[in-house]
A and B are shown apart, each in its own frame.
Chain A
C-alpha cells in the first residue's frame, strides 16, 4: 500500500476554486469532494482511512461506505467480532470506541478515525492470559456456538468498566443490547456478575 493521500478541505478549495456550485467528480478510486459549506464529502471511491485498533495504527484504503466492522474484518483480518443482523439490533459486532460500546456494523470506519477502538481480538494479554471477563465466560460456560460471544464479552467489559460490581439490574441493562440464539443468557449474566465482583476487588 502506498503512502496515504494527505487530503484536506483546504487543498480541495485551492484546486477547485471557491464558489463553484459544481460537484467535483474524479475518477473512480480517487476522493470526491463537494466544495460547499457543511461537511466534507468524500468517495465513492477508495479513500485513506486510519484507524487505531487495539492500540495499533491501521492504515487502510477503503470506500467511505465501508463499516468499521467490515474494515477490521475484511481488511485487517481481525475476525473476532461478528456480523449477524447488520443493522444494530443484535450486538454481535459490539466494539468499544473511546470507552463506549458501539455497534460496529452500523458505524462507518471513516467516522471513527482518531478514536481508540477496542475489539475482542485485542482483549486478552499479549502472553495469552484471558481478560477476567473472558475467563468468567469460560468458567461459567456462558457460551455455546460462540458467535454472539465476542459481542457479549465486549458489552460486559464496558459494563464493568462503568460499574465495577454491578447490580443485577445494571448488568441486565448493560447486556440488553445483545442477542444469543443458543440461549446462554442465564450463564452470561452469571459470568458478568462474577467478572464484576473481580473488577470491584481490583
Chain B
C-alpha cells in the first residue's frame, strides 16, 4: 500500500468538482491537430488495396499500371500470390502517390487476380455440418463447460422454467477519426503520428514489425478521434505506411476511409444463447443452463460473461466460438458485458413475470451480497424512486391507441483497475510546473485530470500546470483500455507530485525557519501548518529552487485506486405499434467510479456510454450479405447512428466513493442501457423481443407473433 503521505486529500479543492477540459479551446477552434491533420513537408499519401472477396486465393498481383500512374511514389505488398484472403477488406497491397487523389488512382490500377473460394457469412453456416473448410482448425471451437452447483436439483426446485434463445448482433466501432498513421523516417529513426489508444504499445509494435530498435521509434498522439477499444497497435495499415515512407523516402499519411474502417478495424462480436432457467415460487432463481455461441469474425474469439450479475446457485454454461469470413473483432467498450447483460436481463423480466413479481424487487432478491463494488440493491431502490417506477404498469400498456409506453431496468458491473503508470514532474525557478506522462487522451479528459491531480497537490490553479502527454518521449503509461487510464495515471501523478513538493518544502523550510514537515501548499502559497504568517507565495518559494529544477520521477502505487464498479439504469420508451418504431424518452443512469476525479468529464463519459448503448439497441447493425459475404452498409447512412432528435432526456447520478480511490468509468455506463430499453419495449407492448437491434420490422414481427399466440 502507498505511503499515507500520498493519500488523496480529504477536503480537496479541485478533485470531484466540475473542471472544464483543458483542451476544449483547441478542439472547438480546430487548432487541435489529430493524426489526420498532420501535414508534413513533402508528405505523400498512402492507400490500401483490399480484397473484395470474403475468401479467395491470390493468383497474381500486377503493379505495372499503378507504377506508371501520375504521381506514383511507392508500393508495398501485404500478401503474396498463393496466399489467401479471409474477409472482404483483407489488405493486399499499399500504394503511395503525391496526392490523395493520385494515390486512389494508383490503387485502382493495381490488378489483383483472385481465385474465389467458398465462404461462411453467418454463425449458423459456421456451425452447419456441411460448413466449407475455410479455417485451418474448422469453423467452430467449443470451450469446456463451466458448471457450478447441482443443475438437476436446481431445476427440480423450480416452480417455473423459461426456455428461449437470445441474441445480440455485430456492431463496429465507427471511430470518427479512422485508423491511420503519418510516418516519417530520419535515417533509421521513425516518427509516427498514430491515432491510437496506446503510444508506447504502438512504438513496440512498430519496432517489432520493422525490426528496428524500439528506441528508434517515437509515437505521437496529441489528439485522437475515438478508439473505443479498437486502436491499440500500429496494425497492418501502420506498418504498411512506415514501409511506403521508407521506400518513397518521404513522409506518408495513410488514413483509412470509412468503408475500410467498418471492414477491418474491429467490431463487437455477436452473442447467442439458448437458455433454460428456473425460478422457485418465492422468486428465488434456482437454475441456469446455457449453450452459447457467437462470432468474432475470421478466427477471433467471441466470449462474454453469462449469466450476468444475478445469483443462479446452480448453473452450467458452454460456449462455442464460430468463425466467419468477416473482419476480426476487437475489444469494444466493455467487451462482452453488453452482450451478457442483454441475454440475462431480458430473461430476468420474463422470469419476474412468471412469478408475478416487480422486476426491481425480483432483481434485488437475486443479487449477490452488497459490497463497495456491488451496490446494485441501493441503486435499484434509489433509481426506482427517482424514475417514478411506482407508475410502471404491468407488462403490456393498457392505454388505447397506437403509442404504448413502458419502463425497463438493468444492472451492470465493470473492473477499471489501475496499473503501473510512470510520471515525471519538473518545477522550475519561475514557478512553472510541467507534468509528463506517456498516456494519451481519447477524449475522456485524461490531459485534464493529469493537470488536476498536480494542481490539487501543489495547491495551484489548474492553469498553472503544463500537462505533457501523448508522446513516447514521456514516461511509460499503458494503453487506454479497460477503463484503466484514470486509475493508472492519477496515482502516478499524485505520488510524483507529492515527492516533488517535498523537495520544494526542503528548499523553502530554512527561509521560513520551520521544518519541511510543517509545510503545506494551498491556495497558491506555501506556509507552516497552524502558522500562516510563515508563508511564501508559490512563485517566491520557487525562486529558491535555483537553476537546477526540481525534477522527480515517480510511478503508480497501490492504495490510491481500486477496481470494481456497479451501476443500474432505468429506461422509458414509447413504441408505435403501427410502425414498430421505438423512441426512448428517458434514461436514468446511476453509476459509481470510486473517487470522482473530474465530475464534469466523468458525467460526459456516462452520457456518452448511454448514447452508445441506445445505438446498440435501436440503430447500428453490421449487415453481411449471406450469399456474397459483403457488408451491405459500410458507410454512415445505412449504418445508422443516433442523431440529436433520437437522444432522450438523460439523467446521470454519480455516486462518489472517495474512500475507494480512483476507478475508471469509460465502459460501465454503456453496458446496461440497451437491456433497459429492450425491457421497456417489452413492458410497453407485452411482446418479448429476444434479440437486438430493436429495428421496426422486428418489433412488428414480435407484435404479430404475440397476437398469434404469444411470445412468452
Q: Are A74 and B39 in contact (CB under 8 A)?
A: yes
Knowing A85-B258, A90-B636 touch, does A141 contact B20 (C-beta < 8 A)? yes
Which B residue's beta carbon lies closest to that of A29?
Answer: B70
Q: Are B636 and A138 in contact (CB under 8 A)?
A: no
Q: For residue A121, which residues in chain B have a CB less than 8 angstroms away from its CB?
A: 29-30
Which of B178, B443, B636 touches A89 (beta carbons < 8 Å)? B636
Which A residue's beta carbon lies closest to that of B607?
Answer: A186
Q: For residue B174, which residues in chain A have a CB less than 8 angstroms away from its CB?
A: 181
CA distance A177 to B643 in the complex (A): 7
Q: How far is the CB of B239 from chain A (nearest CB, A)?
A: 23
Which of A123, A147, A171, A180 touches B34 (beta carbons < 8 Å)? A147
Q: How far is the CB of B108 from chain A (nearest CB, A)?
A: 13
Q: Are A179 and B636 in contact (CB under 8 A)?
A: yes
Q: How far is the CB of A75 from chain B (nearest CB, A)?
A: 9
Q: Does B21 contact A (CB under 8 A)?
A: yes
Q: Are A84 and B608 in contact (CB under 8 A)?
A: no
CA distance A148 to B641 in the complex (A): 14
CA distance A120 to B224 in the complex (A): 18
Q: For residue B609, which residues in chain A have a CB less than 8 angstroms away from its CB?
A: 183
CA distance A92 to B174 in the complex (A): 13
Interface residues on B, range: 35 or more
Mark out the residues of chain B between 216 and 242 whose CB falls within 8 Å of any chain A CB in the assembled complex. 223-226, 228
CA distance A92 to B226 in the complex (A): 14
Q: Are B608 and A182 in contact (CB under 8 A)?
A: yes
Q: How far is the CB of B294 from chain A (nearest CB, A)?
A: 23
Knowing A74-B100, A84-B258, A143-B24 touch, does A189 contact B39 (C-beta < 8 A)? no
Which B residue's beta carbon lies closest to that of A91?
Answer: B643
Which B residue's beta carbon lies closest to that of A144?
Answer: B443
CA distance A185 to B608 in the complex (A): 8
Q: For residue A123, which residues in chain B have a CB less than 8 angstroms away from its CB?
A: 29-30
Q: Are B642 and A185 in contact (CB under 8 A)?
A: yes
Which of B30, B176, B178 touches A79 (beta carbons < 8 Å)? B30
Knowing A124-B29, A145-B177 touch, does A87 contact B637 (C-beta < 8 A)? yes
Q: How far is the CB of A56 from chain B (nearest CB, A)?
A: 15
Which A residue's beta carbon lies closest to that of B669?
Answer: A183
Q: Does B182 contact A (CB under 8 A)?
A: no
Q: How far is the CB of B657 from chain A (nearest CB, A)?
A: 22
Interface residues on A, range: 35 or more
Q: Does A101 contact B (CB under 8 A)?
A: no
Q: For residue A176, which residues in chain B have a CB less than 8 angstroms away from its CB?
A: 643-645
Knowing A79-B39, A183-B611 touch, does A147 contact B225 (C-beta < 8 A)? yes
Q: Does A187 contact B (CB under 8 A)?
A: yes
Q: For residue B31, which residues in chain A have a CB less than 8 angstroms away from its CB?
A: 80
Q: How far is the CB of A126 from chain B (nearest CB, A)?
A: 12
Q: How far is the CB of B668 from chain A (nearest CB, A)?
A: 14
Q: Does B610 contact A (CB under 8 A)?
A: yes
Q: Are A146 and B25 in contact (CB under 8 A)?
A: no
Which A residue's beta carbon lies closest to that of B102?
Answer: A63
Q: Does A77 contact B (CB under 8 A)?
A: yes
Which B residue's beta carbon lies closest to that of A70?
Answer: B100
CA distance A87 to B257 in the complex (A): 11
Which A residue's beta carbon lies closest to that of B23?
Answer: A146
Q: For residue A89, which residues in chain B have a CB less than 8 angstroms away from its CB?
A: 635-637
Q: Does B647 contact A (CB under 8 A)?
A: yes
Q: Are A145 and B30 in contact (CB under 8 A)?
A: no
Q: Does B27 contact A (CB under 8 A)?
A: yes
Mark out the residues of chain B between 252 and 295 whose CB falls within 8 Å of any chain A CB in the assembled complex. 257-258
Q: Are B636 and A184 in contact (CB under 8 A)?
A: no
Task: Convert A164-197 into 0s and 1s, putting 1 for each residue whose CB lies closer than 8 angstroms to a CB of B.
Answer: 0000000111011111111111111100000000
Q: Are B641 and A189 in contact (CB under 8 A)?
A: no
CA distance A131 to B265 in the complex (A): 36
Q: Are A146 and B100 in contact (CB under 8 A)?
A: no
Q: How far is the CB of A106 from chain B (nearest CB, A)?
A: 12
Which A residue's beta carbon lies closest to that of B22?
Answer: A138
Q: Are A147 and B636 in contact (CB under 8 A)?
A: no
CA distance A123 to B28 in the complex (A): 9
- Which of B20, B610, B611 has most chain A Cβ within 10 Å? B611
Q: Are B644 and A145 in contact (CB under 8 A)?
A: no
> A residues within 8 Å of B by Cβ?
28, 63, 65-66, 70, 73-74, 77-87, 89-90, 92, 119-121, 123-124, 130, 133-134, 137-139, 141, 143-150, 153, 171-173, 175-189
Extra inter-chain contacts (14) besides given A124-B29, A134-B28, A138-B24, CB under 8 Å:
A84-B176, A87-B635, A133-B28, A137-B28, A141-B20, A141-B21, A141-B24, A144-B444, A145-B226, A179-B176, A180-B611, A181-B612, A182-B604, A188-B644
9 nearest A-B pairs in the assembled complex, by CB-CB distance:
A80-B30, A145-B443, A183-B611, A147-B225, A146-B27, A183-B608, A79-B37, A138-B24, A85-B636
A-B contact pairs, 15 of them (CB 8 A): A73-B37, A77-B39, A84-B258, A85-B258, A85-B637, A130-B25, A138-B25, A141-B603, A143-B24, A173-B645, A176-B644, A181-B175, A181-B176, A181-B641, A185-B644
